[in-house]
Amino acid sequence: MNRIFVIGSVMAAAFFLVSVPYANCADSSASAGNGGSDSQGSTVWTQSAECSKCHAKYVDSMKDEKLLIGVHVRAGIDNCSSCHDVPSLKEIHVNAVAPKPVIRQRRYPSEFCLNCHGTRGDLAKKTANTRVLTDVKGRVVNPHDLPKTPTHAKAGECANCHRMHKPSVNSAEFCYGCHHKREFACAECHSERG
């Protein structure tokens, strides 16, 4: 039960990261508990609000089994507020304006994802046999157990490769941004002396 709550919290946070304020997104029938506007015209979001009214693209993405959001939905995390925490949703909808077709992407820190997915060590064990990062010489690197370097401290952020409501990034292509010869051993080209 606790693990499901944590996974739900992660998913909510991920969805919240891609959210920006929108007016009247929850404005349907305040008396029906679906949100509405207060006396100043600000959006009043409630947990029973119909998110698809303003965020149809993101709600529809939950049906796509190829996306990480679809994977989370299949795991039983199928409510926006499972991940997007209620206080944040209420706050972001205050003084919201009309919805835009694309919501500005936000990124959660890896610690947010690790709340559900365990420690970095846990992830490294789960992906120990993956070959997704295989360089041109056949050298395999576990994407969740990168060598400890200053550059990898930022490269190891979950959001660099994993996306919720859109296709995730090709991990190898992300790494090739620095490993431009498609080799994962830096010392073969760069002096370790700096």
Predicted model pTM: 0.66
pLDDT, tens only, 100-133: 666 666 677 888 888 889 999 999 999 999 999 9
Of the candidates 166, 169, 171, 156, the one whose C-alpha atom is nearest the C-alpha of residue 18 is 166
Whether residue 60 has pLDDT greater than 80: yes
Contact 97, 52 (CB under 8 A): no
Contact 90, 21 (CB under 8 A): no
Residue 51 confidence (pLDDT): 84
pLDDT, tens only, 4-16: 544 444 444 444 4
Q: Which residue has the tokens 């795991």?
A: 75
Residue 24 confidence (pLDDT): 37
Residue 62 confidence (pLDDT): 93
Helical spans, DSSP H, in 29-109: 52-61, 68-74, 80-83, 86-92
How many C-beta atoms lie closer than 10 Å to residue 172's C-beta?
Answer: 17
Pairing of strands 36-37, 43-44: antiparallel
Residue 28 confidence (pLDDT): 35
Residue extents of the structural domains in the chain? 2-92, 127-188
Portion of the chain with pLDDT greater than 70, in percent? 66
pLDDT band at 67 (very low <50, low <70, confident <90, very high): very high
pLDDT, tens only, 75-107: 998 888 777 778 877 887 777 766 666 666 667
Q: How does DSSP classify residue 190?
A: S
